[in-house]
Amino acid sequence: MQTFYCLTFLHSLGQNMNLLNSGIHDALFFAEMWNSIDNKGVWQGEIWNRRKNGNIFPEWLTISAVKGADDTITHYVGTMMDITARKAIEQHVHHLAHYDALTDLPNRTLLIDRLHQAIAQARREHSLLALLYLDLDKFKPVNDSFGHDVGDLLLKEVANRLEACVKRETDTVSRLGGDEFVILLSQLDRQSAAGLVAENILTSLSQPFVIQQHILDISSSVGIAIYPDDGLDANTLMKNADHAMYQAKCAGRGCFRFFRPEATR
């Protein structure tokens, strides 16, 4: 639905119009808007407005300067289109592309993006980061014995417990798929901090799960790779954390291991 309205002439460049009073945009935003209108005679773009009931909503706005016979601006004409529905669809598509459908945790795509950012920050600040690669032990028998519905509920509960163990906003708990999860711990000052988180995770996941009246006992194996010692880029860190996880499985499962290059030879 498109709404048309007429804007009266405003003498002060960048003056905030009452019509556009969401409070989200600053003075610079309006200054650039009016600069475009002054130089090009028109401005168009996405803007946030406020409804009469106080709710903020997005709209696509086009403002054009209208000149009189003497070539001076007499007024402005604006066309507005409410794009709330379109923005909701865009956000939904973005969420599907970056979050796991079952657990709502970040997926591989979002994890790798955050890992790239964390590596860049660690390089600037000369700090450490850790990747914890986690694989559930004895998960396949759960699916085989109780069905995939129970298995899915178990994965969701595992996700909840992992998030409870990783509380910093700067960290990321993600699901790669199946029964594999990866935890990104950024801005660490010592390697042992990653080990403490791994211990908490192992303790949490060793506690019984009650799923649809079934009492399920599982464990997990965790591999840890540290930046910069175990890799300087995302792919190397992921690969070495995965190797470390298999080292943990070979050590008897239900434990964690830091990456050891010699163990991969």
**What Å distances lie between residue 245 and 132, 155, 164, 192, 251, CA to CA?**
8, 18, 21, 17, 10
User: How does DSSP assign the chain, residue by residue?
Assistant: -EEEEEEPP--STTPPPGGG--S-S-HHHHHHHHHHHHHHSEEEEEEEEE-TTS-EEEEEEEEEEEE-TTS-EEEEEEEEEE-HHHHHHHHHHHHHHHB-TTT--B-HHHHHHHHHHHHHHHHHHT-EEEEEEEEEET-HHHHHHH-HHHHHHHHHHHHHHHHHH---TT-EEEEEETTEEEEEEEEES-THHHHHHHHHHHHHHHS-EEETTEEE--EEEEEEEEETTT-SSHHHHHHHHHHHHHHHHHTTSSSEEE--GGGG-
Residue 113 falls in the annotated catalytic set: no
Distance CA 265, CA 248 (A): 16
* Spatial CA neighbour of 61 closest among 82, 77, 34, 80: 80
Q: Which of 137, 179, 230, 242 is catalytic?
A: 179
Active-site residues, by number, are 179
